[in-house]
Amino acid sequence: MNYRHIYHAGNFADVLKHAVLARLVTYLQQKEKAFRVLDTHAGIGLYDLSSEEAQKTGEWRDGVGRLLEGELPLEIAAILAPYLSSIRALNPGSELTLYPGSPKLARMLLRPQDRLSAMELHPDDYETLHRLFDADFQSRVTELDGWLALGAHLPPKEKRGLILVDPPFEKEGEYERLVDGLARGYRRFTGGVYCLWYPLKQGAPIKAFHEALKALDIPKMLCAELSVRSDRETTGLSGSGLIIVNPPFTLKSELDLLLPFLKTRLGRDRFASSRCFWLRGEEQTTRGA
């Protein structure tokens, strides 16, 4: 209950997560039928990068700030277009001051027929998020433990959906809860697109986490990881990963382009790395960069 994302908004982990989230929303729009985005750990939705908290850590400067510093190769610009166009819409001037959290980003990309359900347990953050979407009939904000939403709110009535699970990882057992939550959600809604975020840091049980996911026997699970520095000399976040269930068929090839670029643009030392591989399905091979 003590986690505050304002200290980390716009950092390298947000860049990867939100770039992929924007792509997933865009892919779902290739069919006319409506869909719902379910954000289980939504936060406050919109972050002021000029605030005392964001300025104190300055993590956004090495994330979205660095991403926007130089020209982008054409292929990368196309992949990042939905994400970056949303950021620019919030910041029409030359200064970057506002950064969209996942619910705000998703909402900015939705069509009139699409819907957003955002869950937030922290009372203060829930109130802030509720005010952000007040009177927005396409959005529903609920004060609820996001893990419960994977049972109670699936399947969505639209029968099409994107489920983002992005817990704060402030207590033990979150990797196990991710596995259990995905298993519970997938049993109720096998056709959904799931996007699970997790941290990479010293001592993290990543191999066991991946093995537990594979044991769920879900046909298609894609993994994308980006590390910006070595984890040997720090106990903090050195990288982050995403598990995408039922990914669009072109996402793997896009990530094979995007991840090495982000490694180069956002990397902090020579140990920066990236990889994209199938945990289940397709070729089930690992690619490192």
Active site residues: 166
Alpha carbon 188 to its chain centroid, in Å, reads 22
Distance CA 267, CA 251 (A): 22
CB of 166 closer than 8 Å to CB of 102: yes
Distance CA 253, CA 275 (A): 12
Q: Which of 16, 37, 18, 38 is nearest to 28 (CA)?
A: 37
Report CA torsion sign: 114, 77, 40, 134.
negative
Give me the torsion for CA of 144, 149, 155, 160, rounded to 10°.
Answer: 80
| CB-based burial, 24-50: b 16+ in 10 Å, e otherwise | bbebbbeeeebbbbbbbbbbbbbbebe
CB of 22 closer than 8 Å to CB of 78: no
CB of 38 closer than 8 Å to CB of 185: no
